[in-house]
Structure 1
Amino acid sequence: MSTTISAADVSALRKQTGAGMMDCKKALQEADGDFEKAVEILKVQMGNKLGKLAGRETAEGTVQSYIHANGKVGVLVQVECNTDFVARNEDFIAFAKDLALHIAAMNPQYVSADDIPQDAKDKEIRVWEQQLEAEGKPEHIRPKIIEGKLKAWAKEVALLDQPHVNGDKYDGKTIEQLRGEVSATTGENVVIKRFSRFAVGE
């Protein structure tokens, strides 16, 4: 005997995951009406589509904010997706809000390591070169040491490479991993476009 899937269940699943109506109906049928199991099925299916999502244009999205309790630190972050439907999705909005909180706490300078301008890298390299010279490090090993320092520094200042500040909630996952999960859940290309952090005294 097949499980009867109501339109209300399909609608509720679509609202939570952002998946298409037919995908939601099939997932519920496969899960014999078990809502949570259907969510897992859709996550797996969407995960396989992640590579195809990256090239899709992001014309919708949300701007979310975070103001620290003392009123001295504030953040605005712009996160984009493909459709207005997902822009209103609770998981998508929650991700953007948590992102703003993370930026307030960790103060990243760039969205990704690729966004770091060469002059900023050169400035750090000059400092490290002086340090290594002062430490008496042999010249032939300095480039390798500086290369390692550059990679470590890029991870510190690039938002996508940072583990979320709420490590207990997100099991130490990076912002890029969390962005990928939201993309899989919604079935859309999720892009962190830009952010601004404001702090009194900085």
Structure 2
Amino acid sequence: MANIKAAQVKELRDKTGVGMMDAKKALVETNGDMDAAIDYLREKGVSKAAKKADRIAAEGLANVYTEGNIAAIAEINSETDFVSKNEKFQNLVKDITKTVADNKPASVEDALELDMGGDSMSSVITEATTTIGEKITLRRFAVLEKTEGEVFGDYEHMGGRIAVLTHVEGSDVSVARDVAMHIAAINPKYITRDDVPQETRDHELNILKEQAKNEGKPENIVEKMVQGRLNKWLAEVSLVDQPFVKDSDKTVGQYLKENNASIKSFIRYEVGEGIEKRSEDFAAEVQSQLKNK
């Protein structure tokens, strides 16, 4: 086997736009012949996949996989919601999440180098990009570990548009899943109000103070009113203080206590959150079409 140098890999990446693992594999397969490696990538359709690299992948699916004391949650993105209904893509999402759970990588970069049936995860994703015809990316993941006497709860909404993983101290999986369903619906930011960072509290407090001043409230009642509003806000963002979605007469904290359980952590992924989607200028598009006629 040819001794492939890092400089060769970089040169091939620069020429084709493919990932490091794909570039190295192509050079290995062609004994370091640069032209042959470029042809190899074209034949495999990888160069075609590279052309999709500048597209925005903000759709896709989130998925949860649990096995024994390990659980993983992952978000895999595509360009359109239509692809999320594709069986090949759905199976890819499940396989990626399971691979992450089995190997517990430290980062997305590490995950992309994991073996998936003889190929790297990066290569498998590239192949799927070529086959399906849309840019596909592993955006993020998390892996949790539990001990005996603890349970995982998982819930996927809209087939994986939202996925939640809960880690609960207690033995009732149904309770953990109920809390996961609540988190999917209500989207709390913290477990308790004590978890809210002081910086975040101060920021909210300043906003509330300005709101009160703009309402023309007397100075002597502003402080009391602001504290009341801050407490209301803290209850809204804290999981255990929120009215339980299946029984609004009790909080999530009360529901957990009734079932001798407490929540240790949770992760909620909503597909595409935080990704700036490309907005098309429809008027400009029409004008462009008219000019071309």
How does the TM-score come out when normalised to structure 1? 0.59
Aligned 8 A contact 2:188 2:238 in 1: yes
Q: Distance in 1 between matches of 2:188 and 2:239?
A: 5
Length, aligned pairs only:
127
Query: Once the two structures are superposed, what CA deviation does each residue of 1:135-178 show, in whole Å capped at 9, x if it has no partner?
Result: 111222111011100111111111111111123xxx62211111
* Structure with greater Cα Rg: 2
**Which residue pairs with 1:164 in the alignment?**
244
The answer on 1:75 being equivalent to 2:155 is no
Residue 176 (structure 1) aligned to one of 253, 256, 261: 253
Aligned 8 A contact 2:153 2:174 in 1: no
Aligned 8 A contact 2:157 2:163 in 1: yes
More strand by share: 2
Q: Which runs of 5+ in 2 are unaligned?
A: 1-146, 274-293
Q: Distance in 1 between matches of 2:195 and 2:208?
A: 21
Q: Distance in 2 between matches of 1:59 and 1:155?
A: 31
Query: Once the two structures are superposed, what CA deviation does each residue of 1:74-124 show, in whole Å capped at 9, x if it has no partner?
Result: 10110013xxxxx3xxxx111000000000000011111121111111111
**Which residue pairs with 1:201 in the alignment?**
272
Q: Indicate the RMSD between aligned Cα atoms, in angstroms.
A: 1.6
Q: CA, structure 1 residues 131+60, in 2 after alignment: closer, same or farther (shift >3 Å)?
A: same
The answer on 1:99 being equivalent to 2:179 is yes
Aligned 8 A contact 2:163 2:184 in 1: yes
**Which residue pairs with 1:137 in the alignment?**
217
Q: Which runs of 4+ in 1 moved over 2 A?
A: none
* Greater relative CO (CA pairs within 8 A, separation 6+): 1
- Which stretch of structure 1 is more off in the superposition, 144-153 or 127-136? 127-136
SS state of the match for residue 191, structure 2? coil
The AA in structure 2 aligned to 1:74 is A
Q: Which runs of 5+ in 1 are unaligned?
A: 1-57, 82-86, 184-189
SS state of the match for residue 201, structure 1? coil
**Which residue pairs with 2:195 in the alignment?**
115
Identity over the aligned pairs, expressed in percent?
Answer: 42
The AA in structure 2 aligned to 1:60 is G
- Which stretch of structure 1 is more off in the superposition, 107-116 or 94-103? 107-116
